[in-house]
Structure 1
Amino acid sequence: MRPGSIEIATRAADHFTRLYYSAYDSATRVDDLPNFYRSTSAVNWNGNPREGVQGIRDLILNMPKTTHEVQSYDCHPIPGTQPPSLLVTVSGTVVHGGGPAANPAKIPKTIEGHPRVFNQSFMLVPDTGTTVAPKPGELAKYYITADSMRFVG
């Protein structure tokens, strides 16, 4: 690994995490979130496999709005390419729907409106479709080649 690779990878993971969950929680997520994936991307959402851009679009199309709170993330650069591929793991909570007020006392409780702990792992690979290579110290552009999300508890 080049000197500074870990710092650059950590910055890239921080940047990715902020962009990804902002897109996921946005009103335009059906259009925005698939841009992080490619047709060959593999997604496993809480035990339900999906494939590619259309798979992620189909998944979120029928999902209530979300609010994610990232509590921690970790990034491991994978040697062998320059810039390196990145394994990013994220932990946090997500609320589906309108929050606790979305479940009035007279209605049977559902998972909607209650925070759920999640863990999500991403394998990010450099987007070689970009024509300009990053300069030393710059962040590379990445896309998700594999994504595994699981509710914890």
Structure 2
Amino acid sequence: MTMANLTKEDIEIATRAADHFQRLYYTAYDSSTRVDDLPNFYRPNSAISWNGNPYAGAEGMRQLVMGMPKTKHDVLSFDCHPIPGTQPPSLLVTVSGNVTHGEGPVGNPVSTPAKNIEGHPRVFSQTFMLAPDSTVTLKPGEVAKYYIIADALRFVG
């Protein structure tokens, strides 16, 4: 398959898969059980870059979120591009939005400087490379299941 062979339907299917993925992912990320849930999106060989810091695989993601205060993500937009060459295709998903770590500004001690970023929403951009999970048996007509092979998050500003 080449890019010229992608149809509008291919892109719509990929976008639906990406929408489903990002909803599940950020719900898990913001949950009280994220230390157990979030690593399920990754494999041992997944590459993660969190604001310039490298982590390896599902265990790396577990270690990252174990040391992080609770989060609240507000996704403002996402886009998805199917990558030709596999069927179902791998997906390049970009997400942008705001994330608050901790209790928000009201959770900061009174002595916290007003310009302190902790507890305030921060703009983020996150890019995922999703690969189809060949270990999952699909029922006829079921959309492919994906896992994260690469994940890069950056705070913007």
Q: What TM-score, normalized to structure 1?
A: 0.93
Does the Cα contact within 8 Å between 2:50 and 2:153 map onto a contact in 1? yes
Q: Which residue of 2 aligns with 1:86?
A: 91
* Aligned ranges 1:102-117 → 2 under 5 Å: 102-108=107-113, 110-117=116-123
Q: Does residue 127 of structure 2 align to residue 121 of structure 1?
A: yes
Q: Cα distance, 1:127 vs. partner?
A: 0.3
* Aligned ranges 1:24-35 → 2 under 5 Å: 24-35=29-40
Q: Which runs of 5+ in 2 are unaligned?
A: none
Q: Which runs of 5+ in 1 are unaligned?
A: none
Does the Cα contact within 8 Å between 1:89 and 1:121 map onto a contact in 2? yes
Q: What TM-score, normalized to structure 2?
A: 0.91
Q: Percent identity, please.
A: 68
> Matched residues in 2 for 1:28 and 1:146: separation?
22
Per-residue displacement from partner, 1:5-25 (whole Å, max 9, x unpaired)?
111100000000000000000
Alignment equivalent of 1:148, drawn from 146, 149, 152:
152
Alignment equivalent of 1:97, drawn from 95, 102, 109:
102
Does the Cα contact within 8 Å between 2:129 and 2:150 map onto a contact in 1? yes
Number of corresponding residues:
151
Does the Cα contact within 8 Å between 1:41 and 1:52 map onto a contact in 2? yes
After the TM superposition, which parts of structure 1 deviate over 4 Å for at least 4 consecutive aligned residues? Answer: none
SS of aligned partner of 1:121:
strand
